[in-house]
Amino acid sequence: MDEFELIHRFFSHHAPGGGVVLGVGDDGAVLTPTPGTQQVQVIDTLVEGVHFPKDFSPADVGYRVVAVNLSDIAAMGAAPRWMTLAVSLREADESWLEAFAEGIYAAAAEHDVRLVGGDTTQADQVVVTVHMTGEVSEGRALRRSGAVPGDTVWVTGTLGDAAGGLEGLRTGRLDRELLSRYARPSARVGYGQKLADVASAAIDVSDGLLDDLGKLLDASGVGAEIDIDRLPISTALSSNFDTETCRRFALSGGDDSELCFTTSGDKAPDGGVMNVTAIGRITESRDLTTRLNGEIVEVAESGYRHFA
Ligand code: ADP
Ligand code: MG
């Protein structure tokens, strides 16, 4: 199978429309932006053995590389529109590519984002990159930098599930629900767009709550107090791990694809079936303090935040 055939077979499924004047097949894609919008551009790479295990299902690799980009788009309050895809493979393994493409298109279909181009190369390691473009009404993109003292800190969904799923992959103690939270994360795209009017700052939780909240705090020049007992933990997680492990995953586990955001009042938009939980407040002191039952557990200073 030559490269042309491979691209035609696996990566040319999207019909015209959705602002695509010219998609896969020419030297470049031609896209029509929506009047009155600004573009949000994000990119994320998954490296085999680093960001997913070597024997990870190719359909899940495809799904995840789209989902992690969608999560960044969601954190900006934008609507995803188009993406390009760079794939490096050891060889043109047809069954791998077929499953991988299926995962790509499944994630794309959930949010009506179109694959408009890409690059396919041979390498010693599987590396997949998606670059995604979203649109947001002029001046309305969410940022990390707008939180002020007194704001409420919120998170969507539940935390730590992806870390629980990954731990299950390592130990062989598999829980289907946790595994799917790792392999097929649901980016909070619709909810992110609802936040454009109400959130003072937002970030997606991809490296763990403390790490990502720390970035939001640094960008805003503030600190926060977080109540560990209010962290949203799923039944799936708590029925597979003890309380301390659940809390550790919720605070420091990565790959959750949830949103962490701040609001000036104590109200957040309704998440429908998804929980939206207030977990603490923004402080003038730049420390990130965690409390359990009111008692201080740990204080991480700005610029030197590290948690065990
Ligand atoms: P060029 O040599 O002009 O860069 P290529 O032969 O690499 O073009 O690619 C041909 C077409 O196929 C281009 O439109 C490119 O965007 C698209 N393409 C290549 N690889 C992929 C991929 N993995 N997914 C989607 N589109 C791809
Ligand atoms: Mg060319």
Q: Is the pLDDT of residue 275 over 50?
A: yes
**128 Cβ below 6 A of ligand 1:** no
Give the span between the Cα atoms of 197 and 139, in whole angstroms. 11
- Determine the distance separating the centroid of ligand 2 and the alpha carbon of 114, expressed in angstroms: 20
**89 Cβ below 6 A of ligand 1:** no
- The closest residue, in CA terms, to atom 27 on ligand 1 is 118
Confidence grade of residue 16 (pLDDT, cut at 50, 70, 90): confident
- Determine the distance separating the centroid of ligand 2 and the alpha carbon of 250, expressed in angstroms: 45
> What is the predicted pLDDT for the residue at 305?
55
- CB under 8 Å, gap of 24 or more: what pairs does 91-100 form? 91/122, 92/1, 92/6, 94/1, 96/58, 97/6, 97/9, 97/10, 97/58, 98/10, 99/57, 99/58, 99/59, 99/62, 100/10, 100/58, 100/59, 100/61, 100/62, 100/128
Mean pLDDT on 255-264: 96
> What is the predicted pLDDT for the residue at 285?
95
Give the span between the Cα atoms of 157 and 72, in whole angstroms. 16
Mean pLDDT of all residues in the chain? 94
Mean pLDDT on 117-132: 96
- Alpha carbon of 14 to those of 4, 8, 9, 28, 213: distances in Å? 16, 11, 12, 15, 37
Q: Is the dihedral of CA 180, 7, 87, 67 positive or negative?
A: negative
- Protein residues placing their CB within 5 Å of the ion ligand 2: 27
- Determine the distance separating the centroid of ligand 2 and the alpha carbon of 275, expressed in angstroms: 46
Q: Is the pLDDT of residue 307 over 50?
A: no
Q: Is the pLDDT of residue 64 over 50?
A: yes
For 243-255, write each residue's pLDDT tens digit: 999 999 999 998 9
**126 Cβ below 6 A of ligand 1:** no
- Determine the distance separating the centroid of ligand 2 and the alpha carbon of 117, expressed in angstroms: 11
- The closest residue, in CA terms, to atom 6 on ligand 1 is 4
Give the span between the Cα atoms of 97 and 103, in whole angstroms. 10
CA of 84, closest atom in ligand 1:
25
Phi and psi, residue 28, nearest 5°: -155, 160
> What is the predicted pLDDT for the residue at 13?
85
Q: In what order do the strands lie in the sheet with 79-89?
A: 37-47, 127-137, 79-89, 114-122
Q: In what order do the strands lie in the sheet with 152-156?
A: 199-205, 258-263, 152-156, 276-283, 223-227, 288-292, 295-300
Q: Is the pLDDT of residue 304 over 60?
A: no
- Determine the distance separating the centroid of ligand 1 and the alpha carbon of 286, expressed in angstroms: 47
DSSP 8-state assignment for residue 126: -
Q: Which residue has the tokens 């299926």?
A: 102
| This model's pTM is above 0.85 | yes
Q: Is the pLDDT of residue 122 over 90?
A: yes
Task: Count the neighbouring beta carbons within 10 Å of the beta carbon of residue 222.
Answer: 25
> What is the predicted pLDDT for the residue at 303?
61
Mean pLDDT on 265-283: 96
**87 Cβ below 6 A of ligand 1:** yes
Give the span between the Cα atoms of 92 and 3, in whole angstroms. 9
